[in-house]
Structure 1
Amino acid sequence: MPSSSSARMPSPRSVSPRYRVLLAGVFSQLLCIGVARFAYTPLLPVMQQQTWLSDAQGGWVAALNYAGYMLGALVAASIHSIRLKDSLYRLTLLLAVLSTAGMALADSFWLWASMRFVAGFSSSGAMLLASGLILHWLIQHRQRGELGIHFAGLGLGILVAALAVELMLRVPLGWQAQWWGFTALAAVLLVPAWLWMPRPAKPSEGSGHRHRQAAPPSRTFMRLMLAAYFCAGYGYVISATFIVAIVEREPLLAGAGNWAFALVGLAAAPAVMLWDLVARWMGYLGALITAMALQVVGIVLPALTDSLAGVLLSAVLYGGTFLGCVSLVLTMAGRLYPQSPARLMGRMTLAYGAAQIVAPALTGMLAEATGHYDTGLWLAGGFVALGAVLLAWLRRVDQTAQSLDAEAKVG
C-alpha cells in the first residue's frame, strides 16, 4: 500500500489505483445509465412502430423512470454510512440488469412502467452513490476531486446504446430481441463495475482527509442553486428522451435519429473533462452559466431547422453541455460536503429529478396534441435560459458561490 505522501506522486503505484476506481465508475455509468436508462431513447421509435405505444404513453413511461431516480436520490441523501452506500451501489448494479431484462418480457404498459421505475432507481447508483464513493476514495487518498472521467462513462453509454440499436436494426431484430441484447451487454458491464470499486475502509481517527469540516451552504445559495438545477433538469430530459423520435419525425431526416443520439454521446464523453478545465479557469458557476447558455441553443435548434447540419450541431451542443452541468454541480456538492458528498448530491438531484418527472409527460402530451415537439423544445430552452440567469444572480450575491469559484481556480 502506498503511503499518503506517495499517493501524491505520479508513480504507477499511485496512478493505477486512481484510474481503476474511476473506471469502475465509468462501467457503472455504462451499465446503469447507458443501458438501463438510455437504451429506451433509441428504442422508443422502434417500440412505437412495433407496439401500441403512443407519444403520451411513451412520455409517461419515461416520467416513471425519473420517479424511480428521485426515490434513489432520496435514499442516497438519507444514508450516512459509507459502507451501506457501497452495499446499495452494488444492489443498483443488479437492478440495472434485471430491469433491462424485464422490458423484454411482454408488451404491457404497467410492466414497462414498473421496469422503467426500477431502472431509474438503479441509475442513482451510478450518478450519486458511485460519485460519492469515488469522491470519498479520492479525498481519502489526497487526490484531486474531479469526476470528469467518471461521468465520461455516461456519454460513452449514450454512444453504445445508439450504435447497438442501429446495429440490431440492420440484422434486423424486433424490439424484444433488442432488449435481450441489451440485457446480455448489461451482464458483461456488471463485472468490472462491481469488482473494480473498492470496498470503503473504516475512517481512522484523526485521518488526514477529515481536516475539513462540512459547513452548510448559505440559504441563498441552496435556494437559487436548487431552482437553477431544476431548470437544467427540465432542459436535459427533453432531448435525452425524445431526440431520436424528434429526428425520425422529419421526412428529410428519417433514419438519422440513432446517429444523432450517438453524436450526443460522442460529444458528451470528452466534454465532461473539458468542463473540469473550464471550471479551473472561470470557476464552477462561470462554467455552469456558459454550459447552460450553449445548451439553450442546442435544445431549440431542431425547432428552428430541419436540416441535417442543424440537427447534428444541436446534438453536439446538447451532448457537449448537459453532462458537464451534472458533473460540475455534483463536484461542487462533493467540495461543500467532503465527508458525505452523497447527501448534498441527493438534494441537488431531487431538484433535477423533479423536473424530469414533469417534463417528459408534458412534452409527450403536447406532441400528441400538436403533432410535433417544437412547443416542448421551446419550453425546455426557456427553462434552461432561466436557470442560467439564476446562476448569474447567485454568482453576484452569494459568498458561498464566490468561495467555491475561487477554490476551483486554485485547485
Structure 2
Amino acid sequence: MSSHPTSNLQPWQVITGGICGLVLTIGLARFAFTPLLPLMQLQTGLSDAAAGGLAAINYAGYISGALAVAWIDDVRWRHRLYGWGLWMALLTTAAMALTTWMPAWGLSRYLGGLCGAGGMLLGSGLVLGWLMRQGRRPELGLYFIGIGLGVAVSALGAWGLSFLWPDWSSQWLAFAAIGLVFFVPAWLWRPPVPPLVAPSAASNSGPAVSRRWMLIMAGSYFAAGWGFVISATFTVAIVEREPALAGQGALAWALVGLAAMPAVFVWDKVARRLGDTRALLLAFALQTVAVVLPAVSGSLAAALLGAIGYGATFIGIVSLTLALVGRRAPQNPGKAMARLTLSYGAAQMVAPVVAGAMAQATGTFKGALWLTAGVMLLGMALLATLPEDAQV
C-alpha cells in the first residue's frame, strides 16, 4: 500500500477514517482489556494487583508514545508513524491471545499503549490540522466520537463473543478480526501529509502559550487522567464484584461508550456558550459525581448512572483540552497535544497500580473511587485559577 493517501479526500472521508482509527487504536488495542479482564481473571488466575500492573504498563506505552510525538517535528514522520500504529494495533490485539506469560502480556499492553498514543495524538493532530487548512471549524468533537464508539464496540463485542467462544483467548483473536473492519477505512482515508512550513512562519502563527497556562492545564489534565483510567480499567470489574450485579459488567461498559458518542457534540456546544474553562469545570464536576456513585451505592442504578456519567464527561474533558491546546499550535497541533498529554499519561501509569493494590488489600474498589474523586477535585481547583482570557 502507498504510504501517502490521495490529497483529494472529502471531509466525511477524513473524519470517518479518523474515527475508525480511534476505534482500532483506542477501542480495541487499549480498551478491549477492560471487558475481557473479569474473564481473564477467572480463567487464568490473574490477580487484581497484576491486572493493575498490566494497565499501568499499557499507559507507560501511551506516555512513551506521547513523549515521542512531543519530540517529533517532521510532519512526514508523524504521518508515517500514525500508519504504523494502525498496523501495530491489529498485531498487539491478536498477540494477547497467544500466551499467558506475564512478560509477553506486558509487552503487548505496552505496544497497545503506543498505538493508543498514535490514534489519540498523531491522528487527532493530523485531523485538526487538516480541518484548519480547509478553513473548517477547529473542533474535535466529531472526531472523538471514535473513542465512544470504540468503547461500545469493545463492550458489545465482548458480550456477543461470550456466546460464541467462552474462552478469553478466542475473544482476543476475534477482536483482532473485528479490527480489520476498521483498519481498512482508517488506512485508506488518513489525512494527507501536511505541507512543510518554514520555521519563521510556524513560529509566528497562533497565540502564544504561557508557561503558567501550560502548568495549570498539565496539573488539571493529570487529575483528569487519574479519573479516566480508574473507570477505564476497572468499570467492569467493579460492577462484577458486586454480588447483586454479577453479569452486568458488559452492560455498564457499553453504556460508557454509548454515552460518550453523543456527548462529544454536546461539549462543543457547551464550550461555545460558556467558554472552554467553565465547560471543563462542569465536565470535571459531573465526572467526580459519576466516579463516587458506585462507592456510595452498590445498586445497579448507581453503577449504570456512574457509567453513563463517566462516558459523557471523560470524552468532553479530552476533546475540549486537546482542541484548546491544538488551536494554540496550528502548525503542529499533535506535538502540542502530546506535551500536555504527558501529565495525563503519568496519571494513567500511577493510578491503576494504586487502585489495584488498594482493591487487593481491601477486597473492594470503594477506597480507590473516593481517592479518585479527591484527585478530580484538586484538578478542578487548579482549573478554576485559569483566567478566561487565556482561552482561544
Matched, 1:384 2:376: yes
Structure 1 residue 287 displacement after superposition: 0.6
Between the aligned partners of 2:349 and 2:390, the Cα distance in structure 1 is 33
Matched, 1:101 2:99: no
Identity of aligned residues (%): 48
- Aligned residue number for residue 219 of structure 1: 211
Between the aligned partners of 1:210 and 1:59, the Cα distance in structure 2 is 42
Between the aligned partners of 2:213 and 2:318, the Cα distance in structure 1 is 17
Structure 1 residue 20 displacement after superposition: 1.2
- Aligned residue number for residue 3 of structure 2: none
Between the aligned partners of 2:307 and 2:369, the Cα distance in structure 1 is 13
Q: Taking structure 1 as reference, are residues 255 and 216 closer, same or farther at Cα in structure 2, changes over 3 Å only? A: same
Structure 1 regions of 5+ residues with no counterpart? 1-13, 396-400
5 Å-filtered alignment, 1:193-208, equals 193-203=186-196
Between the aligned partners of 1:197 and 1:334, the Cα distance in structure 2 is 19
- 1:151–1:272 contact (8 Å) kept in structure 2: yes
Find 2:261's aligned residue among 247, 269, 279.
Answer: 269
- Aligned residue number for residue 351 of structure 1: 343
- Aligned residue number for residue 319 of structure 1: 311
Q: Deviations over 1:353-400 (max 9, x none)?
A: 0000000011001100000000110011111111111111123xxxxx
Between the aligned partners of 1:124 and 1:220, the Cα distance in structure 2 is 25
Between the aligned partners of 1:174 and 1:244, the Cα distance in structure 2 is 17
5 Å-filtered alignment, 1:238-387, equals 238-387=230-379
Find 2:229's aligned residue among 218, 237, 250.
Answer: 237
- Aligned residue number for residue 113 of structure 2: 120
Structure 1 residue 188 displacement after superposition: 2.1
- 2:165–2:171 contact (8 Å) kept in structure 1: no
| Paired residue secondary structure (2:190) | coil
Structure 1 residue 171 displacement after superposition: 2.5
- Aligned residue number for residue 19 of structure 2: 26
Between the aligned partners of 2:305 and 2:153, the Cα distance in structure 1 is 20
| Paired residue secondary structure (1:149) | coil
Structure 1 residue 210 displacement after superposition: 6.8
- Partner amino acid, structure 1, of 2:325: A
- Partner amino acid, structure 1, of 2:95: G
Q: Taking structure 1 as reference, are residues 199 and 369 closer, same or farther at Cα in structure 2, changes over 3 Å only? A: same
Between the aligned partners of 1:228 and 1:121, the Cα distance in structure 2 is 23
- Aligned residue number for residue 147 of structure 2: 154
- Aligned residue number for residue 4 of structure 1: none
Find 2:48's aligned residue among 52, 55, 79.
Answer: 55
| Paired residue secondary structure (1:198) | coil
- 1:89–1:126 contact (8 Å) kept in structure 2: yes
| Paired residue secondary structure (2:287) | helix
- Partner amino acid, structure 1, of 2:88: L
Q: Taking structure 1 as reference, are residues 385 and 73 closer, same or farther at Cα in structure 2, changes over 3 Å only? A: same
- 1:67–1:120 contact (8 Å) kept in structure 2: yes
Structure 1 residue 202 displacement after superposition: 2.4
Aligned length: 384
| Paired residue secondary structure (1:104) | coil
Structure 1 residue 200 displacement after superposition: 1.6
Q: Deviations over 1:198-240 (max 9, x none)?
A: 322424789xx97961443122211111111101101110011
Matched, 1:46 2:46: no
Structure 2 regions of 5+ residues with no counterpart? 1-7
Find 2:128's aligned residue among 135, 151, 154.
Answer: 135
Structure 1 residue 253 displacement after superposition: 0.5
- Aligned residue number for residue 36 of structure 1: 29
Q: Taking structure 1 as reference, are residues 221 and 205 closer, same or farther at Cα in structure 2, changes over 3 Å only? A: closer
Q: Deviations over 1:48-80 (max 9, x none)?
A: 000020000000000000000001101111111
Structure 1 residue 334 displacement after superposition: 1.0
Q: Taking structure 1 as reference, are residues 376 and 205 closer, same or farther at Cα in structure 2, changes over 3 Å only? A: closer
Between the aligned partners of 1:320 and 1:204, the Cα distance in structure 2 is 37
- RMSD of aligned alpha carbons: 1.7
- Aligned residue number for residue 7 of structure 1: none
Matched, 1:164 2:157: yes
Between the aligned partners of 1:348 and 1:193, the Cα distance in structure 2 is 25
- Aligned residue number for residue 9 of structure 1: none
Matched, 1:402 2:384: no
- Aligned residue number for residue 4 of structure 2: none
| Paired residue secondary structure (1:386) | helix
Between the aligned partners of 1:137 and 1:394, the Cα distance in structure 2 is 29
- Aligned residue number for residue 80 of structure 2: 87
Between the aligned partners of 2:164 and 2:229, the Cα distance in structure 1 is 30
Q: Taking structure 1 as reference, are residues 138 and 212 closer, same or farther at Cα in structure 2, changes over 3 Å only? A: farther
- Aligned residue number for residue 78 of structure 1: 71
| Paired residue secondary structure (1:221) | helix
State the TM-score, normalizing by the size of structure 2.
0.95
State the TM-score, normalizing by the size of structure 1.
0.91
Q: Taking structure 1 as reference, are residues 390 and 189 closer, same or farther at Cα in structure 2, changes over 3 Å only? A: same
Structure 1 residue 325 displacement after superposition: 0.2
- Aligned residue number for residue 3 of structure 1: none
Between the aligned partners of 1:125 and 1:92, the Cα distance in structure 2 is 6
- Partner amino acid, structure 2, of 1:241: T
- Partner amino acid, structure 2, of 1:393: T
- 1:137–1:200 contact (8 Å) kept in structure 2: no
Between the aligned partners of 1:358 and 1:217, the Cα distance in structure 2 is 27
Find 1:188's aligned residue among 168, 181, 187.
Answer: 181
Between the aligned partners of 1:322 and 1:201, the Cα distance in structure 2 is 29
